[in-house]
């Protein structure tokens, strides 16, 4: 399966359990690994035979910046599931990094990574 990668997308969101997180917000980073068949795009050199990168970015941006979740786990799941709903992808690996969760200690960040497949949502 072919892959498209989005690395280090940066958004400002208001996700978290505690009041200050909802009030002040913070930066979130999103990485994606999208699995799909790119053979037609590789042969045709036509945008219609792949996914539009700007549309993927906008979809993720609307979720992270426009919606509110208590858990980064839920945010990550919604990103993966929404991408599968809106684009012809076989699999999405989504990773959301929260650099500054309210943890008393020294650490760089906390991240959640989820893999969702189209067949997981087939009815």
- What would the pLDDT profile of 30-64 be if each residue is shown by its tens digit? 999 999 999 999 999 999 999 999 999 999 999 99
Element spanning 98, H or E: strand 91-98
Query: Is residue 5 exposed (0-12), middle (13-18) or buried (19+ Cβ within 10 Å)?
Result: exposed
What's the burial of 101, exposed, middle or buried (CB within 10 Å: 0-12/13-18/19+)? Answer: middle
Token representation of residue 50: 């792949």
- pTM recorded for the entire structure: 0.93
123 has pLDDT over 60: no
Across the chain, what does the average pLDDT equal? Answer: 93
Please pick, among 62, 93, 95, 98, the residue that the annotation labels catalytic: 98
In degrees and rounded to multiples of 5, residue 55 shows phi and psi of: -65, -40
- The reply to whether 95 belongs to the active site is no
Domain ranges of the chain: 2-121
The yes/no answer on whether domain 2-121 falls in CATH 3.30.1130.10 is yes
- For residues 118 and 114, give the distance between their C-alpha atoms in angstroms, rounded to a whole number: 13
């Amino acid at each position: 399966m072919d892959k498209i990668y989005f690395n280090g997308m940066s958004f400002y969101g208001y996700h978290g359990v505690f009041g200050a997180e909802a009030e002040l917000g913070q930066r979130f980073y999103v990485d994606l690994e999208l699995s799909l068949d790119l053979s037609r795009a590789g042969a045709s050199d036509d945008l219609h035979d792949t996914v539009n990168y700007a549309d993927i970015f906008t979809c993720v941006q609307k979720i992270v910046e426009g919606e509110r979740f208590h858990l980064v786990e839920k945010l990550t799941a919604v990103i993966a599931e929404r991408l599968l709903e809106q684009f012809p992808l076989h699999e999405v690996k989504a990773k959301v990094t929260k650099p500054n969760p309210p943890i008393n200690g020294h650490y760089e960040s906390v991240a959640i990574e989820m893999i969702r497949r189209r067949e997981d949502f087939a009815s």
